Amino acid sequence: MTNLAVIAQVIVALSIVIVWVFRYDNIVKEFKQYSLSDLTRTIVGSTKIALATLLVAGIWYPSLVLIPAVIMAFLMVSAQYFHFKVNNPWQKRMPSLFLLLLCLFIATVSLNLIS
């Protein structure tokens, strides 16, 4: 893993923890805006926290990185879909877009397509 990929893993993981732990009230509002259930919110949040944990563990165990990065990228594409669906402004769309790009970068490095 390159240093940039490791930095990207830490950024993604920290961002997920900050949003899903310390800004949880905002998550509750957003999922209501998207008309998604509490169960869906819980599943998405648990999944993201688990994936973030695997991305951090992947710093020491690189074989753990690819699948969490790809799944997290899928969840960020899903976030983009819901932001567009409710016509959120660009400011609300940018964080998940940035994390999507970082996850794609992490996956690409993990596959040794770039170094």
Other residues' Cβ atoms within 10 Å of the Cβ of residue 73: 21
Q: Which pTM was predicted?
A: 0.94
Whether residue 115 is contained in a domain is answered as no
Whether residue 49 is contained in a domain is answered as yes
Element (H, E) at 32: helix 24-33
Whether residue 98 is contained in a domain is answered as yes
Tokens 């770039």 sit on residue: 114
- How many Å apart are CA 22 and CA 114, to the nearest integer? 34
Q: How many domains does the chain have?
A: 1
- How many Å apart are CA 102 and CA 108, to the nearest integer? 10
Whether residue 70 is contained in a domain is answered as yes
With bands split at pLDDT 50, 70 and 90, how would you rate the model's confidence at 93? very high
Query: Could you report the per-residue pLDDT of 31-67, keeping only the tens digit for each?
Result: 999 999 999 999 999 999 999 999 999 999 999 999 9
Range of the domain at 17: 3-110
